Amino acid sequence: MPPTNDELIAEAMTEEAPLLPLLHRIHERDGYLSEEALRSVSKGLRIPIADLFGTITFYHHFAREPGGFEAPRVCTGPICCLKGARDLVAELDGATGMPCSGRCDEPIPVIRGSQTFVGLSANQLTVGDTPVPPAKVGDYEECVFANIRHSDRKTIRGYRQTGGYEGLEKAVTSMSPEQLTEMIDQSGLAGRGGAGFPTGRKWKAVADATGGPKTVVCNADEGEPGCFKDRALMDHDPHAVLEGMALACYATGSPRAFLYLRYEYPETEYLLANAISEAEAAGFLGDDVFGTGTKIKIYLRRGAGAYICGEETSLLNSLEGGHPFPRNRPPYPVTHGYEGTPTAVNNVETLASVPPIVLHGPDWYRGLGLGDHAGTKVISLSGDVARPGNYEVPLGLPLSTLIEEWAGGVPDGHTVQAVTMAGLSGGFLAGHDLDVTLDEPSIRAKGSFLGAGGIMVFDDTRDMIEISHMAMEFFAEESCGKCFPCRIGTQRLTERLVGNAGPDDLEQWLDEVSDLNKTMKETSACGLGQAAPLITESLLKYFPQAVQTHVIGD
Ligand SMILES: Cc1cc2nc3c(=O)[nH]c(=O)nc-3n(C[C@H](O)[C@H](O)[C@H](O)COP(=O)(O)O)c2cc1C
Ligand code: SF4
C-alpha cells in the first residue's frame, strides 16, 4: 500500500525544507497533484491554500491532471528547436514543450516520469545518458575534469582511488576554517554560476556574519539554455561536488547544506542520493566527519521547473516552500539567506573546484589560467560544431581555438555566423568580436559576459531573427513577473521579433526596441530582466541588415 497523504505529511514535518520533497512524493505516487492532496498539504504544513496553489502552478512540472507526471515533455530550447523539437512535440501523444532541459550536447531530450529519453524523432528515442567530457586537448592541465574520465569515479571507491576526500580530511584535521577560506581566496576562484563573485570572500562573509545555524547551498538548478556542465559534474563526479560542499560547510561553520537540483535531471537525483549515503556510511559526512566531531549534513532537494529558481534568492524562497520570486537585495544571502540565516550559495562547478585546490594549493590553481587569468572554466559548447560537449579551458584561451581546434569547427564547410555567451544571457558575439579570449574582462569589453559558460554556435545558414525570437520568448516565459519592466519588456521584445508585429517604420521600430532595451537594463530587479535585452542589443549591433529586412522587407 502506498503511504497516505497524512503519513507523507507527518514524515515531511520532521524534515528540513519539507514542501518540495512532499509534493514530489505525492506527484509520483498519484501521477498528478489533486485538489484533495493540495488541501491536505495546505493544512498539514500550515500554508494558505491560495499561496500553495500560486506556488505550485508557478512551476512547469507539477501536473494538475491525472497522468500528467508520465506525459512526455520535450525540450524546446534553441538547439533542440533547430533539430526539430517542435515536430517531436506534435509527434508524441499528449506531449508538451519545456524550456531548455540541459542536454544540448545530446538533442532532443524527452522526460517521461522519472526518466529521460533522447532522439530526433519519436521512433528514435532511446534512454538518455550523460556523455563523459571529450578527451582533453593540448597540454593544458584541468581542475574539475582532471579525474572525471576515470571509469569508477562516481562510486566512493573509485573517487578515493583518485584522491577523493583527501582534501576534506586534510582541511578538517590540519587546517582552521580561516586557513581554508584564505587558501580559496588566494587561489582566485570566483563563482562559476554566472556572477563571478570571489568564493573566498563569500565564505568569509558567511563565517563572519552573526546568527545561525549557517547554511551552504549548492546551486544545481542549471536552467540557463546552452548550459549542461553541472549535469556532467554531478553524473560523473558526484562525490567531488559533495566534498566541495563539505569543505564550504567547514570554512563557513555551517552544519547543514542543501543541494538544489533542477527537476529536469531525474537520473542525477538517484546518483546524488546514493553518493550522499556512501559518504555518510564512510564517515565523511554526518555527525563526526573524519572522527573530528565536525557535523555536516547534506540534504538533497529537487526543484519543479522554473529558470528563475537558479537566481539565488529565488532558489532560497523555493527551498523554504514559498513563492519563488527573487528577493530584494540587500540584505544578501551571506547575512540573511535560508530562513534568515547566513548562507553561502555556490554553483556546482565552483564547489567541485575546491577539493583539488585544497590538495594542490592556491598557486597551482591560479597557474592553470593563461596570462593573468586565474584557473579554468568549463564551457558547454553546442550548436553547429562537429564535437559539442563540455570542455574545461584555461581562462584566457582564444574562442577560435576552442571552436576550431578542440571541437572540430563548424561542419559541412560552413563558418561561424554568431555565438551566444553565458548561455543566452550574454547575447550574441559575431563578426570581429569573435576574436576574443575566454575570460570575463575580454568578453565584457565586447559588451557581453562569460557567465556560466554556455556557448551556442550558429553557422552562416541560420536565421538570426528566428534565433533571437526563440531566445526572447524563453525570457518572456521565464520572467517571474514580479517587476514591470521585465514582465512587459520581454513580451514586447518577443512580439517585435516575430511576423510583422510592431511598427513597419524602421526608425520607429529601432527607437522602440532600443528604449525597451535601455529601460529593462536599468530598471529590472534581477539578472533575468537585465540580461534579456542583450539579445536584442547584440542583434542590432551585429545584424542591422537582417533587422531591416525583418521590419521593412527586402
Ligand atoms: C536568472 C538567473 C538564473 C541563474 N541561474 C543559475 C543557475 O542555474 N546556477 C547557478 O549556479 N547560478 C545561477 N545564477 C546565479 C546565482 O544567482 C548565484 O550568483 C550563484 O549561484 C552563486 O554561486 P557562485 O558564486 O558559485 O557562482 C542565476 C542568476 C540569475 C539572475
Ligand atoms: S527582472 Fe524579471 S525575473 Fe527578475 S524579478 Fe523582475 S520580473 Fe522577475
List pLDDT tens digits, range 294-305: 999 999 999 999
Least confident stretch, 165-174, 497-506, 519-528: 497-506
**Which mutation among 315, 318, 526 tests ligand 2's pocket best, with the greatest number of atoms within 8 A of CB?**
526
Top mutation candidate among 100, 144, 204, 219 for ligand 1, by most atoms within 8 Å of CB? 219
309 lines ligand 2 (CB under 6 A): no
Give the pLDDT score at 554: 78
CB atoms within 10 A of CB 167: 23
Cβ of 194 below 6 Å from ligand 1:
yes
> CA triplet 341, 347, 352: central angle to 5 degrees?
115
Residue 180 has a pLDDT of 98
- pLDDT in the model for residue 151: 86
Q: If you measure from the C-alpha of residue 504 to the centroid of ligand 2, how many angstroms do you get, rounded to a whole number?
A: 29
Degrees to nearest 5, angle at CA 241 with 163 and 332: 135
Residue 401 has pLDDT above 90, yes or no: yes
Centre of ligand 1 to C-alpha 259, Å, is 13
What residue owns the CA closest to ligand 1's atom 10?
193
Provide, rounded to the nearest whole percent, the portion of the chain with pLDDT above 90.
Answer: 97
- What is the structure's pLDDT at 500? 64
H or E element in which residue 118 lies? strand 115-118
Read off the DSSP letter of residue 398.
Answer: B
> Measured from the CB, is residue 347 less than 6 Å from ligand 1?
yes
The pTM assigned to this predicted structure is 0.98
The per-residue pLDDT for range 82-123, each reduced to its tens digit, is 999 999 999 999 999 999 999 999 999 999 999 999 999 999
Whether the Cβ atoms of residue 261 and residue 220 lie closer than 8 Å to each other? yes
Q: Is the CB of 520 under 6 A from ligand 2?
A: no
Q: In the prediction, which pLDDT does 12 show? A: 94
Name which of 503, 498, 500 is nearest 463 in CA terms: 498
Tell me which ligand sits closest to the C-alpha of residue 326. Answer: 2
pLDDT score recorded for residue 262: 98
pLDDT value of position 501: 64
Of 167, 166, 154, which is closest to residue 238 (Cα–Cα)? 154
pLDDT per position as a tens digit, 203-242 = 999 999 999 999 999 999 999 999 999 999 999 999 999 9
The reply to whether ligand 1 has any atom less than 6 angstroms from the CB of 533 is no
527 vs 57: CA distance, rounded Å = 23
